[in-house]
């Protein structure tokens, strides 16, 4: 690991952030920073607001009727929820991988090329290069290089999820958000995704939601514990799992509830 890995450079800074679905408040005054080239894990019992928080970081909740936010989220200092900001451009910089693999009903090649095509890239050779690079980065290239024109649904669940990661990488985002990306996968596929995240963290800022504490402990540099829509504690992962400051965190990681 490089010596710089101990310095924390905030990439996304969240201040006094609250989120509402209609009249229901899902997040209460969260203060939090996601640091550059680190893996930040978010843990907490189901329904505590992890997905809501994650989806607020690339404005995916904009499509939920009645959703609204208060407070501030900045990406490299730029206010995400400012009226002048185009959320489409934010989503190109902050990519997302979902719980259930959701490849498009297209060929493997076209799945990875989709994000580039919508940006207007037409050159076949440029597309081919980036598709190959992205599939390699997602550790999927060797398995699919002979059937790039085959349908994405012919892949296994784990392969589909790595395809979705490749698809997200192809548009060269700065941040990748993963919402329980392995919860629908078998242990071997899960291990591959976790390895992959280690490979990716040299180049990307990664935030992962997981309800699997072992996974958070294995993959992340920093861990945040959410409970009932509030951020209870965020710290270095080793600290959270060995010596948490808040007794509720300790209760959760020792399995006393959740």
Ligand X SMILES: Nc1ncnc2c1ncn2[C@@H]1O[C@H](COP(=O)(O)OP(=O)(O)O)[C@@H](O)[C@H]1O
Site for ligand X in 22-61 (CB under 6 A): 24, 26, 44, 46-52
Q: How many residues bind ligand X (CB under 6 A)?
A: 12
Lookup: tokens for 60: 């995916």
Binding interface with another protein (CB under 8 A)? 58, 60, 63, 65, 88-89, 91-92, 95-96, 98, 100, 102-107, 110, 113-115, 117-119, 149, 151, 164, 167-168, 171
20 interface partner picked from another protein, ligand X, Mg ion, none, CB below 5 to 8 A per type: none
Is the CB of 33 or the CB of 178 nearer to Mg ion? 178
Provide DSSP, 134-164. Answer: HHHHTT-HHHHTT-TTSBGGGS-HHHHHHHH
Least CB distance from residue 86 to another protein, whole Å? 9
Residue nearest to Mg ion (CB): 51
Cα distance between residue 38 and residue 1, in whole Å = 12
The 198-237 contact track toward Mg ion, x by CB under 5 A, reads: ----------------------------------------
Q: How many residues bind Mg ion (CB under 5 A)?
A: 1
Least CB distance from residue 62 to another protein, whole Å? 9
Least CB distance from residue 164 to Mg ion, whole Å? 16
The 14-53 contact track toward Mg ion, x by CB under 5 A, reads: -------------------------------------x--
Is the CB of 26 or the CB of 73 nearer to ligand X? 26
Q: How far is CA 129 from the centre of its chain?
A: 24
Cα distance between residue 159 and residue 191, in whole Å = 12
Strands 230-236 and 222-227, by their bridges, are antiparallel
Is the CB of 60 or the CB of 148 nearer to Mg ion? 60
Q: What are the start-end ranges of the E strands in the chain? A: 10-21, 24-35, 39-43, 67-75, 78-79, 94-97, 175-179, 205-209, 222-227, 230-236
Backbone angles phi, psi at 165, to 5 degrees: -70, -45
**Contacting residue, 20, 21, 114, 141, with ligand X by CB under 6 A:** 21
- Longest CA span, the chain: 56
Q: Which residues pair with 107 in a beta bridge?
A: 151
Cα distance between residue 222 and residue 215, in whole Å = 12
- The answer to whether residues 252 and 45 touch, using CB atoms and an 8 Å cutoff, is yes
Lookup: tokens for 207: 């935030």
Least CB distance from residue 47 to Mg ion, whole Å? 8
52 interface partner picked from ligand X, Mg ion, another protein, none, CB below 5 to 8 A per type: ligand X
88 interface partner picked from another protein, Mg ion, ligand X, none, CB below 5 to 8 A per type: another protein
Residues in contact with Mg ion by CB under 5 A are: 51
């Amino acid at each position: 690991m490089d010596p710089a890995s101990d310095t924390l450079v905030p990439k996304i800074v969240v201040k006094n952030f609250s989120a509402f679905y209609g009249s229901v408040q899902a997040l209460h005054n969260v203060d939090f920073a996601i640091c550059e080239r680190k893996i930040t894990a978010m843990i907490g019992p189901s329904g505590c607001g992890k997905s809501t928080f994650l989806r607020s970081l690339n404005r995916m909740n904009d499509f939920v009727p009645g959703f609204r936010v208060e407070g501030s989220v900045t990406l490299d200092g730029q206010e995400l929820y400012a009226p002048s900001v185009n959320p489409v451009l934010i989503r190109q910089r902050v990519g997302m991988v979902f719980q259930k693999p959701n490849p498009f009903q297209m060929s493997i090649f076209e799945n990875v090329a989709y994000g580039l095509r919508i940006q207007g890239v037409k050159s076949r050779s440029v597309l081919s290069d980036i598709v190959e690079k992205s599939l390699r980065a997602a550790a999927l290239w060797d398995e699919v290089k002979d059937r790039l024109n085959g349908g994405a649904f012919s892949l296994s669940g784990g392969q589909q999820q790595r395809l979705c990661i490749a698809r997200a990488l192809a548009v060269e985002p700065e941040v990748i958000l993963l919402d329980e990306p392995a919860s629908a996968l078998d242990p071997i596929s899960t291990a591959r995704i976790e390895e992959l995240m280690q490979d990716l963290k040299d180049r990307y800022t990664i935030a992962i939601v997981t309800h699997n504490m072992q996974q958070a402990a294995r993959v992340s540099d920093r861990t945040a514990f959410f409970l009932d829509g509030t951020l209870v504690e965020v710290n270095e992962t080793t600290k959270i799992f060995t010596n948490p400051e808040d007794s509720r965190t300790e209760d959760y990681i020792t399995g006393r509830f959740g």
